[in-house]
Amino acid sequence: METEGGITVRRALELPGLRAGLPEVLTCADRLERTVRWVHAGEAPNIPALLKGGELLLSTGLGLGSRPADQRAYVRKLADRGIAALVVELGPRFERLPTAIVEAARTAGLPLVQLHREVPFVAVTEEIHTEIVNGHYALLQRAEEVHRRCTQAVLGGGGVPQVLGILADFAANPVFLETPDGRLLFAAGAGPVGTDPLQVWEGLRGARAAREAPPAGALLVEVPGGGPGAGSVRARLVLLAVSGPLVTVHRMAAERAAGILAVVLMQARQEDEVAARGRGDFLTDLAEGRIAPEDAPAQAGVLGFRPGGDPLLPVVMRLAPESAPSGSWALLARAVTEELAAVGAPVLVGVRPVEGRVPLLLALRPGTTRAALGDRVATALRAGAGRAGLERAGDRTPVVVVVGAAGGWAAAGAGLRHAAEAATAAQGLGERPWYDARSLDIDLLLWRLRDQPDLESFVDRAIGPLREHDRTSRPALLPTLEAYLAHAGRKAEAARELHLNRQTLYNRLARIGELLGTDLDDPQAVLALSLALRARRHTR
């Protein structure tokens, strides 16, 4: 029988060394399948303090004490240390083990064995240790066979699914690969009829989230990552004991499979990122005019993008620099590509980590409007960013999606450049699913002027008194002015947005006009204030 890194008590008693002593099991015969991790011989009264658990203790009884109370206490201490069994050789000390020892062992659930003949403890120890080592070697061989099969699968062009499938077949249980934060990446294997391994995995994830104990027998092995620090984790292997128990050899095999998965995931991410950067370079060269429109279709075709004669829709997703750490671009590229596959239109996706952008071109199929395709693409891009851990529900979005004007190859480059610049200028604006690049032209103009002292002076003249008020007094008035201008002076709508009654809004607007020395009904004043509010995002 296979055990957790040893042999069983039953097997130890069957070996020639102990069998020659005519062993008699006095207590807990139903617990002889306990694992013997090591063998120790000793007579010292303090021997329990020297044990770690799992030992088969050999004794002649000299350390057991002469008083029943001492004998019971000694046995209890051994049981508390978690030893596998106590074997006492009869002879000068005991002709038969005292009732106190036997009853204490039975009460503590400790297998107790007496030997009727003298045996050399050294020979017994060597024999059992040899058996344990041979058992370990056999486990290593089985685990190495799994490692060999996984390696062959990867060298033959296989990937994560093939490695997980081999491990699931070996363990005869379902296997899952999840991210460090508990999101499922891949699954392999199945449980017996009437069970749903995915539901069991969901229960495991829920238990971890609630800091409860995981399902009995679940095995978790970390897949090392490529990040900084020795403890970096790329993913986690989860084996669930659905069809049968998981034992030591399964952990050994899982640890070897985890090493292969680390290489596969690293290689896949590197290849994905290199390919995505290559497509990003093409799209950037197209945007910067380094590729002639007449040469673009052939080069795009090599990259797998063949839109035919349909108009091209340029789109750019921009990420806040702090939201896209190094190493996340390959995962982002793959996730975005997979999400965009559901859009149903030819698409070419690239990444530009230096600029923090994901540029793409899509074919605008007949019967599909630019607005409808923009909605679907923005949804897919945000879903991909979420899968890559760059956008989370409830957080302020670090993602900006800008859709350019549709056209042919001659207009695609300019459209990509315009969308990329507009996406940069849109950072910090209110959250929207996506922006029309043309609606951001004023923001783009102001962004281009961001380093000009005149722009900062203009903002100070226009809204400086209001900013100074908000730094020292309450309520803040800038949000009131922004809501008022955003609703084109419609006071009722501004009041609803601000959750104010009309009189309070009127009072605040009057105070704003007083501080700024301007008439909020004057179109020229309204224009200047609107520009100043938009420009302040780009000034110090």
pLDDT (tens digit, 9 = 90+) per residue, 397-436? 568 999 999 999 999 999 999 999 999 888 777 678 999 9
Yes or no: say if 84 and 56 are a contact pair by the CB < 8 Å rule: yes
- pLDDT value, residue 143: 87
Band the pLDDT of 242: cuts 50, 70, 90: confident
* Cα–Cα distance measured from residue 188 to residue 302, given in angstroms and rounded to the nearest whole number: 34
- pLDDT value, residue 1: 38
Which pTM was predicted? 0.51
Instruction: Say yes or no to pLDDT of 110 above 80.
Output: yes
Average pLDDT over residues 89-94: 89
- pLDDT value, residue 102: 93
- pLDDT value, residue 198: 60
Q: Output the DSSP codes for 63-116.
A: GG-SSHHHHHHHHHHHHHHT-SEEEEE-SSS-SS--HHHHHHHHHHT--EEEES
From the list 102, 109, 105, 57, the residue with the least C-alpha distance to 83 is: 57
Per the prediction, the chain carries an average pLDDT of: 85
pLDDT (tens digit, 9 = 90+) per residue, 351-365? 888 788 899 999 999
Beta sheet of 399-403, edge-to-edge order: 347-349, 357-363, 312-319, 399-403, 435-436
Evaluate the omega torsion of the peptide bond into residue 475 and state whether it is cis, within 30 degrees of 0. Answer: yes
Q: Exposed, middle or buried by CB within 10 Å (0-12, 13-18, 19+), for 50? A: exposed
Yes or no: say if 116 and 24 are a contact pair by the CB < 8 Å rule: yes
Share of the chain above pLDDT 90, in %: 39
pLDDT (tens digit, 9 = 90+) per residue, 245-291? 888 888 889 999 999 988 887 776 666 676 788 888 899 999 999 89
Distances (CA, A) of 426 to 400, 415, 446, 479: 7, 16, 11, 19
- pLDDT value, residue 120: 92
pLDDT (tens digit, 9 = 90+) per residue, 184-241? 777 787 666 555 566 666 666 666 666 666 666 788 899 887 554 445 777 888 888 8
- pLDDT value, residue 508: 93
Beta bridge partners of 23: 115
Instruction: Say yes or no to pLDDT of 324 above 90.
Output: no
- pLDDT value, residue 347: 92
